[in-house]
Structure 1
Amino acid sequence: MPYVVQPGDTLLRIARMFNVNKESLLAANPGISTVNPLFPGLLLSVPAQTAFIYRVQTGDTLLGIAGKFGLTLHALMNANRHQELKQLQPGALLTMPCAGSSRIVDGRAEYGQRELMADAESLAKAYPFLQVEKIGASVMGKPIIAIRLGEGPVKLHINAGMHANEWITTSLLMTFLEDAAKAASFGEKLCGLDMQALLQRVTLWVVPLVNPDGAELVQEGLQPDHPHAQELLRWNKGSERFNKWKANIRGVDLNDQFPAFWEEETARRGTDGPGPRDYPGPSPLSEPEAKALAEFTAEQQFDCVVALHTQGQEIYWNYRGYEPPEAEQMARKLGKDSGYKPVKLSGSDAGYKDWFIFQFRKPGFTVEVGYGVNPLPVEAFPDLNEEVRLLLVSAMEAARSK
């Protein structure tokens, strides 16, 4: 099947769209590679999806077979147009098309602003008790959204995607949100906990992608018509590879932007100016992304916050002695439930967690998801998802018990 590359496409996004694997897409298009970005207008050949055969059993119906394999009735009938399907005969062989993911959130490829906005809309339709609102905009005008789940008096906030090359935290957080909403909707348990009961005690507010401009740059590379192309190339020392970029599109590290001993962090970093990482900016909250998150936090007066980053499988829970007495015990619970290591950190300032603890004297945690080198590979998503699910359910339970 021919496919014309569109703006924002990557190999993994195309593979996800057609439900094929990256290797088969590369094999069908030997002229492309995983190193260089795809350019709009390129014509690709997409291999056919695989299928398998099912032998009809006594009592089977088309609708029942479709449901058994997670297919729509239309997809099943379309794959067997050559057969008479009005009267199924036991022993007849049916072609079963390869089913796409039955989930709304799909973590098999890069996950950025366009996936987030589409999934937020779909989740709100599937689970009308979710609330989606815009809390600000990025440098390039992309909406920064927050999503609420639950009606409890205790407010827990979780954010992700603050560092550009840590964008996998966004798909992990959205996957968790979908799992929690589904469990609450159908009266199911998640990691052994009754989500309906939990969400009567806890209100969960998530900001899945704090740095949409940076995530786009890491995932899609620098396009020739990018409005900040010349500056970005200069800040990246002339390299067109942006896989190590952590900052926002103005070269500011958003997790060094918060007013908690910001001057000391600036002196410690010693960076000359904008770049891929570690530049705290010209002043605290100079960047619209950090400002939006700080204002939202102050408005909501959260009881507890969790900031998802990568990597290290660690939980940072303290800040200069300003953390409340229960913070260490909560960190130990998160560590016990997830397998991550609680760490008492020093020599770091101006982060979101630091500012929250300093400003509100409430529990705040930075969680370093996974282990390896950033950006963590998409192939690690299933394992990371298991870790994050356990940890975030534990965070909800710990918040409820405060």
Structure 2
Amino acid sequence: MYSEQSYRYADLLEGVRQLSGRYPFLSSHVIGESVMGKPLLALRCGTGQRRIHMNGSFHANEWITSALLMRFVADLSAAYCSGEEIGGQRVADLCREVTLWVVPMVNPDGVELSQEGLSERHPYYRQLLEWNRGSAQFEGWKANIRGVDLNDQFPAFWEEECKRRGIESPGPRDYPGPYPLSEPEAAAMASFTDRMGFHAVMALHTQGREIYWNYRDYEPADSEQLAKKLARASGYEAVKLSGSDAGYKDWYIQRYRRPGFTVEAGYGENPLPMSKFDHIYMELQPLLLEMLRL
């Protein structure tokens, strides 16, 4: 389902094709398109009344999160169809109570750029070189293809985030855009979330082995305890974060007053290499399973 060096948008499409063909338990849905017209895919697992959402690759150079989520979806689907357990949990029972919706790759254009670099045929060739300060090295690129940080795009004290970032033009990272939800990827995520009415959400990022659970005191009273459950499952640290706005988790918590989490998986320097995949997944799988039990 992925190459040894990276996890590409093409790998995602092939993984979705294989899994949806093998497991009737799983279905795929298009929730929008990227700037470059790539379909943004959401995978549905389960039939329960409680709706949980997970997403990955908001940031381009954090593409390993897409592979991690796809592995979890594959494990969940296999265990459901075979009647087996994961971590002592009978998946068939769990998925009668919960429906999991996963958007594995929010930022496919940015992922492609960070992995494959820039060709002269790219429609944004000149702008991207300029936004990257003339460098042809894009491994550290976090933004979408228009140089907007998708996790600074949400209408949760967005103006405060603009002041804090102090970046007024497109670039590799930290530009919140000209206005909230200006980018089709962020707008698609907001619309999808509003449409589905999730009971809890988790945005998967890298790196740091931390779990952020709060937002300006809008979070429910039990959010810290829930984060500590996730921390115990994974060995990660539950952290009360301040000085950050306009993220997906921030917006969700403020809008719905429901539990939202940002999980920083793994440790090292982004992009984390696929050589760390198995180790990160061993830590992360119990956390993802615990998220379904919240």
Corresponding residue for residue 365 of structure 1: 261
Q: Tell me the TM-score normalized by structure 2.
A: 0.99
Contact 1:107–1:381 (Cα < 8 Å) also in 2? no
Corresponding residue for residue 247 of structure 2: 351
Cα deviations across residues 294-324 of structure 1 (Å, max 9, x unaligned)? 0000000000000000000000000000000
* 1:180 counterpart (69, 76, 100): 76
Cα deviations across residues 221-248 of structure 1 (Å, max 9, x unaligned)? 1112111010000000011000110000
Q: Distance in 1 between matches of 2:116 and 2:286?
A: 31
Contact 2:34–2:40 (Cα < 8 Å) also in 1? yes
* 1:161 counterpart (50, 57, 67): 57
Corresponding residue for residue 142 of structure 1: 38
Corresponding residue for residue 231 of structure 1: 127
Cα deviations across residues 140-174 of structure 1 (Å, max 9, x unaligned)? 00000100000011100000011000000000000
Which secondary structure state, in structure 2, belongs to the residue aligned with residue 128 of structure 1?
coil
Corresponding residue for residue 395 of structure 1: 291
Which secondary structure state, in structure 2, belongs to the residue aligned with residue 136 of structure 1?
strand
- Count of matched residue pairs: 294
Corresponding residue for residue 63 of structure 1: none
Which secondary structure state, in structure 2, belongs to the residue aligned with residue 134 of structure 1?
strand
Which secondary structure state, in structure 1, belongs to the residue aligned with residue 250 of structure 2?
helix
- After TM superposition, list the pairs within 5 Å mapping 1:51-66 onto structure 2: none
Following superposition, which runs of at least 4 residues in structure 1 exceed 2 angstroms of deviation? 105-109
Contact 2:6–2:273 (Cα < 8 Å) also in 1? no
Which secondary structure state, in structure 1, belongs to the residue aligned with residue 195 of structure 2?
helix
Corresponding residue for residue 300 of structure 1: 196
Shift of 1:118: 1.4
- After TM superposition, list the pairs within 5 Å mapping 1:1-400 onto structure 2: 105-106=1-2, 108-398=4-294
Q: Distance in 1 between matches of 2:61 and 2:9?
A: 14
Amino acid across the alignment from 2:102: V
Which secondary structure state, in structure 1, belongs to the residue aligned with residue 44 of structure 2?
strand
Q: Distance in 2 between matches of 1:291 and 1:113?
A: 20
Contact 2:5–2:273 (Cα < 8 Å) also in 1? no
Higher RCO (CA-CA < 8 Å; seq separation 6+): 2
CA RMSD of aligned residues (A): 0.8
User: What percent of counterpart residues are identical?
Assistant: 57
Structure 1: gaps (5+ residues): 1-104
Which secondary structure state, in structure 1, belongs to the residue aligned with residue 160 of structure 2?
helix
Structure 2: gaps (5+ residues): none
Q: Distance in 1 between matches of 2:44 and 2:3?
A: 21
Contact 1:108–1:381 (Cα < 8 Å) also in 2? no
Q: Distance in 2 between matches of 1:280 and 1:230?
A: 21
Which secondary structure state, in structure 1, belongs to the residue aligned with residue 54 of structure 2?
strand
Cα deviations across residues 62-118 of structure 1 (Å, max 9, x unaligned)? xxxxxxxxxxxxxxxxxxxxxxxxxxxxxxxxxxxxxxxxxxx33633112111111
Contact 1:317–1:327 (Cα < 8 Å) also in 2? yes
Contact 1:138–1:288 (Cα < 8 Å) also in 2? yes
